[in-house]
Amino acid sequence: MIRIAAVGDIHMGPESQGVLRPAFETLPDCADVLLLAGDLTRHGTPEEARVVAREIKDLGVPVVAVLGNHDHHDERPEEVTAILQDGGARVLEGQETVVECAAGRIGVAGTKGFCGGFAGRNAGEFGEPLMKEFVRTTRRHADSLRTALERLDAQDCAVRVALTHFSPVPDTLAGEPLEIYPFLGSYLLAEAIDGAGADLAVHGHAHAGTEHGMTSGGVRVRNVAQPVIGRAFHVYHLQVPERVAAPVGGQAH
């Protein structure tokens, strides 16, 4: 069994230093990896990022993160990324990483993602250049997620996880006003996840949403925004698929 701890939208600032640390210190007992689904800071300042870095340093489990829209607000995402990396996090944007644990290899592909809405109620790549660029931005994030998941396919992972800040599905937005769904995620992320395949998709951003959802391709989606899960993190247990053993004297296909 692979144990994946996840939380997003911890929105840390100077006065929240130490709030999550006691819970995070229990991670080696209950999880193989901690995923952080973006919006780790309030305004994306280096000072706030340093609070997060101290909170996650030397936890005893690998930490894999994506940034959220709040982590971009101060327009210094590279600096925020570098500070989180100093704290030991692997920060993904259109990349993948593999975490080795006793039960097998955990592949994580991550991107912040972006918005635009869900099939039938989505922004289209049409009209003004700004509108086209908006949709292309989402498409670039989705494409990078797809190729990162595809690269993991060749890396003998027991499970593959898609980590985003924006939501790939509308299911996990239930509770949010319908009018803002187009700003909470994009169906292009779900198309990427279903196209490349994954065992779990984790996102944040929708503070008033719902934890459980699913892509149309059947991939489990979990909204781990802290206000949704109501705790420092949630742990998801994933079954390691059984390998087909090669018959004696024969070959496995």
Sites of contact with Fe ion (CB under 5 A): 9, 39, 68-69, 205
The residue sitting closest to Fe ion, measured at its beta carbon, is 39
By beta-carbon proximity to Fe ion, the closer residue of 68 and 94 is 68
Contact (CB, 8 A) for 193 and 168: yes
By beta-carbon proximity to Fe ion, the closer residue of 39 and 171 is 39
If we measure between CA atoms, which residue out of 161, 174, 181 comes closest to residue 101?
161
If we measure between CA atoms, which residue out of 104, 147, 134 comes closest to residue 242?
104
CB of 204 to Fe ion, least distance (A): 6
By beta-carbon proximity to Fe ion, the closer residue of 3 and 112 is 112
By beta-carbon proximity to Fe ion, the closer residue of 106 and 188 is 188
CB of 3 to Fe ion, least distance (A): 25
Residue type for position 251 = Q
By beta-carbon proximity to Fe ion, the closer residue of 8 and 62 is 8
Contact (CB, 8 A) for 123 and 135: yes
By beta-carbon proximity to Fe ion, the closer residue of 3 and 141 is 141
By beta-carbon proximity to Fe ion, the closer residue of 196 and 229 is 229
CB of 184 to Fe ion, least distance (A): 8
CB of 207 to Fe ion, least distance (A): 6
* Cβ-proximal residues to 128 (8 Å cutoff; 6+ apart), any chain: none
CB of 243 to Fe ion, least distance (A): 39
CB of 11 to Fe ion, least distance (A): 6
- Integer distance in angstroms from the first to the last C-alpha of the chain? 25
CB of 53 to Fe ion, least distance (A): 18
